[in-house]
Amino acid sequence: MKILITGFDPFGGETVNPAHEAVKLLPDTIAGAEIIKLEVPTRFHRAGAVLEDAMQRHKPDAVICVGQAGGRAAITPEKVAINLMDGRIPDNAGYQPVDVPIREDGETAYFTSLPVKAMVQRMRDAGIPAAVSYTAGTYVCNYLLYTLLYLIDKKYPNVRGGFIHVPYAMEQVINKPLGTPSMDLRQIARGLETAVEAVAACG
C-alpha cells in the first residue's frame, strides 16, 4: 500500500507550518504502507496542480492532506469539503477569492473516503486529543480537500482521500494571546502516524 501525505508551507505571516513539519517527522513506512511526503504551496489553484501531479506520478492508494488550523486544540480529520473559495486573507500568491466556486462542474460538496471516526479513536487511544471536524473552512485547506475528492470522483475512483487539520505548534503561540491552543510537533506527528495506521487497516 502506498499513501501520499501532503503538508502546506507557512502562510499568514508564520515562519513555520506545523502541517509540513509534522509530516516530515513521519516514518517512511507505517503499518506496512509506504509513505510519500510532499510539501504543497498555500496557494489556490497551484496547490491542486502540485497534488494532481504527485498523484499521477506516485499512483497512491490513499492521499491524506494535512493543514494548520490555528485555534483548534485537537487534531481534527475533516468529514466534508465544499465547492467554495472565500479567502479570509490572501494566499501566498496574493490571491484572495470571494465566493468563487472551486470547480464549475463539481458537486456542491464531497465527503471524505477516509475512516475519520476510526482515525480519531486511534489517536484518542494513544492519548492524543482528536475529534472529527465538519468544516474545513473556505481557505486553501478546504480548496485542497475539495480538489482531492473531485479528482477521486472524476479520475481516481479507487483512491481514498481526506484531510487532517492540526493545531499550532507550541513555538508558534509564544507571542499569541494567552490561552491560544497548541501542540508539540512530535505529538502532532504521533497523532498523524496513528491516524495513518487506521487508514492502512482499511486496506
Residues belonging to the active site: 78, 141, 165
Copy the grid coordinates of residue 122: 486511534
**CA nearest to 63, candidates 99, 17, 23, 91:** 23
Sign of CA dihedral 120, 167, 63, 82: positive
Per DSSP, helices labelled H in the chain are 18-25, 46-58, 116-125, 140-154, 185-201
Q: Half-sphere exposure (CA, 13 Å, Cβ side) for 201?
A: 11
Please, is 122 exposed, middle or buried when counting C-beta atoms within 10 Å of its C-beta (0-12, 13-18, 19+)?
A: buried
Q: Which residues are registered as beta bridge partners of 36?
A: 4
